[in-house]
Amino acid sequence: MAVNRVDMWLMSHSAYFKPEHMPIITDQLSRLDESQANVLLSLQLKNPTTLLLLSIFIGELGVDRFMLGQIGLGLLKLFTLGGCLIWWVIDIFLISGATKDYNYAELMKALAYLPTAHYHAPQPPQNDRLQ
């Protein structure tokens, strides 16, 4: 994918990922050709701000965890009323990071399913010395 297009995509989606994920994402996206880059248009990312608001207002019911696909944690949070509201308060601080990790995992999963005709995953360096 062209560097200009990668930079535009990263600028418009930077709030959805942690800063430490950005170099890896940049490297992976720069290896894509134009046909593979169209997969990114169909990728559904979760907005960390939306999940934070959900966590604040109805997080004691586990809705924030259900949105991230964490059904078991969502049910546990629902049945314990947010862990007697203690878990709910803790989740208010943790949900943004969990959302960004979810988005990173979804992006990496989408990139892994691309046809490999033009995409080459990074290889570890080869050791040329004889043992």
* Comparison of pLDDT for 23 and 37, the residue scoring more: 23
For the chain, the three-class secondary structure string (H helix, E strand, C coil) is CCHHHHHHHHHHHHHHCCHHHHHHHHHHHHCCCHHHHHHHHHCCCCCHHHHHHHHHHHHHHCHHHHHCCCHHHHHHHHHCHHHHCHHHHHHHHHHHHHHHHHHHHHHHHHHHCCCCCCCCCCCCCCCCCCC
| Statement: residue 94 has pLDDT above 80 | yes
Q: Is the pLDDT of residue 3 over 90?
A: no
Residue 127 has pLDDT above 70, yes or no: no
Instruction: Please say if the pLDDT value at position 51 is more than 80.
Output: yes
How high is the pLDDT of residue 54?
Answer: 95
Whole-number pLDDT of residue 131: 47
pTM: 0.82
What pLDDT shows up at residue 129?
A: 53
